[in-house]
A and B are shown apart, each in its own frame.
Chain A
Amino acid sequence: DEEIQFSADEKKQIETYLNSYPEADAAVMSVLWLAQDKFGWLPPEDMKLVATSIDMPYAKVVGVATFYTQYFKKKPGQHVLEVCTCFSCQVMGGYDILHYLEDKLGIKKGEISADGQWQIREAECLGACGSAPMMQVTNGQYVHNLTPAKCDAVIATLEKGEDLPFESVTLPQDEDDLGGNRRSDAEAVVTYQTAPIAETTK
């Protein structure tokens, strides 16, 4: 049997969370994140561990976990592509991107590929509307200004087991004033772009 436990370091981290709030329940979201980062998702056993670690009733922990979309209550794919099709992304071709990925990976939104590698979800606005269409990968990096070519590149990178870079999106005014990069420590710099007019629009 796999032992479901937090390490000494993680216990220390939980202690810090608990000390950050006047009441222990407030630490639940942070500890759920900790558990999900460790185990990849939140099956009942792990939620029970969260409950005991902050002395909160299990049912309440479940109540919190189910309120939010980012906590995985079911085992997710290895890579979860959260494609934004909301508002700005919708008018900028978010659905074209979604369908492109569905065709490429052979799965529909909500599904997980047979090998467990890929999952596609339709996301609500992710707060990156100026670089639409965009997606978030497994609760982590944002990928901006999506085109089919960029989707291919992202999938190739993930298939190789490599990490995606953090894309720092430069303000248009900085393109004039700072040569397009305001951070010398950015991993990757992208500018806001307008997606080309899609095939689907006449």
Chain B
Amino acid sequence: MEVPTPQTNAPETKAGDWRNYKRLLLPPIRDLHQITVYEKHGGYQTIAAILKEARDPKEVAASVKSSGLRGRGGAGFSTGLKWSFMPPVDDRPRYLGVNGDESEPGTFKDRQLLEYNPHRVIEGILIACYAMSLKAAYVYVRGEYDAYITHFEQALADAYEKGYVGEQILGTDFSTDIVVHKGAGAYICGEESSLMNSLEGKRAYPRIKPPFPAQKGLWGMPTTINNVDSLAQAALALEIGPEVYAKIGAERHPGIALYGISGHVVRPGVYEYPTGMLMTDLIYEVCGGIRGGKKLKAVVPGGSSTPVLRADMIEGVTMDAESLRDAGSMMGTGGMLVMDEDTDMVRFLRRITHFYHHESCGQCTPCREGTGWLEKLVTRIDEGEGNLRDLDLLIELCGQMEGRTVCALADAAAWPVRHTITRFRDEFEAKCRPAVFAGADLGGDGHTGDGATVAVEPA
């Protein structure tokens, strides 16, 4: 069967001449994870130059801010700006928390950075520590990444050995320790305040904000939490120059993206390209299109919580916060799931609701109860036991969860439900119990109703 491939050779995209893009974050250098190879390619020169010139830490933070780098952990907040929120130095300790929890379904990029370019991450941590004048960084990596933690710890030991980390780094009076902390399997620990509680050895319930980490973070001290990828990119931005970095990719969400593309494409994987790539370019050209010559049905752009887009919604949409917002979704983590025409969207959503129900920490009632109900109702529909009014009930439930909880997990659970149902309503309706005639007992509870939303067909 010949399926036409959409033409996607738009000459000008936000990603520029991406076909000739030379990778910077995961460049094609064999054994870059080894410290000598990293050094040979300019590694640790950026932090060395900062130390040598004894640059003003605040100016280093401002420099990162001017690169336009936005966090790669999901929320897309300006990294340099976040650093500037740290209060002035006093005699209290202050900390950096490095978020390597990477548990948002569909996301698998940080893992490749930890394996293939760990020293870039370490250099980013050092720069952050310098810019915020702090002496200890905790790298929180999900426990399942056991093998990658071992790799990263080896890299860290080598960096200590060579004097890049620890006391009096490179003979200056700048000292910073980096500690790797292994998680043990809980999605919620990726949420920054949960991560802090987990690190402190408490049950990892998210904290109410404010106070924000910069005021009261780890052990009550000023703290900044950054994603692994954000820190690696901060180091890179300073190496190539913030003004150069700012010109890569989409103007308002500049820089490099590690697109983790999974699902029904011919060639899935982690790809490094500028931000602002056309979704169609990523799917049809970079990843070779849909496997088996099938048609595209849906795409989740940036991890399981970002709203799904139908195939007809992605034309001209680029991978950056603005374009995706206009299209009705979000950039998230850049972990893109591609689904072909055979995908059962109800079953797909059912598994997502199971995930969030399983991972809710149970602290807030709307989340604990809500995620349970979402799973129960979607499961019921998937098993052919649902009623049409359940669909509206689900949307209503989402409204009761969004923006009412301690952390954003409840929102993250509600968004996919809301948007998958509205965008694939036919499929959900098709799985519900058929309505026999107008005014039927649609809810199965003795009441009639729902006429407005139900297209009723005679049996």
B443 proximal to A (CB < 8 A): no
Known A-B contacts A22-B93, A33-B184; the reply to A92 vs B271 at CB < 8 A is no
Residue of A nearest to B150 (CB): A166
Q: Are B143 and A125 closer than 8 Å at their CB atoms? A: no
* B260 / chain A contacts, CB cutoff of 8 Å: 129-130
A88 proximal to B (CB < 8 A): yes
* B358 / chain A contacts, CB cutoff of 8 Å: 124
Q: Are A91 and B179 closer than 8 Å at their CB atoms? A: no
* B23 / chain A contacts, CB cutoff of 8 Å: 173
Q: Are A125 and B179 closer than 8 Å at their CB atoms? A: no
Which residues 258-302 of B sit at the A interface, judged by CB distance below 8 A? Answer: 260-272, 291-292
B107 proximal to A (CB < 8 A): yes
Q: When the two chains form the complex, which single residue of B28, B143, B267 contacts A70, counting CB atoms closer than 8 Å? A: B143
Known A-B contacts A124-B355, A142-B147; the reply to A87 vs B106 at CB < 8 A is yes
A159 proximal to B (CB < 8 A): no
Query: Which of the candidate stretches B8-16, B196-204, B400-408 sits at the interface with the other chain?
Result: B196-204
* Alpha-carbon distance between A71 and B116 when the two chains are bound, in angstroms: 28
Q: Are B106 and A172 closer than 8 Å at their CB atoms? A: no
Known A-B contacts A30-B181, A125-B105, A184-B31; the reply to A132 vs B200 at CB < 8 A is no
Residue of A nearest to B182 (CB): A33
Proximity bits, A25-65, B CB within 8 Å = 1, else 0? 11111101100000000000000000000001000100110
Known A-B contacts A92-B263, A139-B144; the reply to A202 vs B111 at CB < 8 A is no
Q: How far is the CB of A47 from chain B (nearest CB, A)?
A: 13
* B145 / chain A contacts, CB cutoff of 8 Å: 127
Q: When the two chains form the complex, which single residue of B34, B111, B182, B343 contacts A91, counting CB atoms closer than 8 Å? A: B343
B120 proximal to A (CB < 8 A): no
Interface of A is mostly: loop
B33 proximal to A (CB < 8 A): yes
* A87 / chain B contacts, CB cutoff of 8 Å: 105-106, 304, 337, 351-352, 355
Q: Are A171 and B203 closer than 8 Å at their CB atoms? A: no
* Alpha-carbon distance between A184 and B264 when the two chains are bound, in angstroms: 30
Proximity bits, A79-97, B CB within 8 Å = 1, else 0? 0000001111011100000
B415 proximal to A (CB < 8 A): no
Q: How far is the CB of B32 from chain A (nearest CB, A)?
A: 7
Proximity bits, B22-51, A CB within 8 Å = 1, else 0? 010010111111100000000000000000
Binding site for B on A (CB under 8 A): 20-30, 32-33, 56, 60, 63-64, 67-71, 85-88, 90-92, 124-132, 136, 139-142, 166, 168-169, 171-174, 177-178, 181-185, 191-194, 197, 201-202
Could you give 10 example pairs across A and B, Cβ below 8 Å?
Answer: A26-B201, A68-B186, A86-B355, A87-B304, A88-B105, A127-B103, A127-B145, A129-B335, A182-B28, A194-B267
Nearest 6 pairs between A and B by C-beta? A25-B201, A177-B28, A68-B184, A87-B105, A192-B269, A70-B185
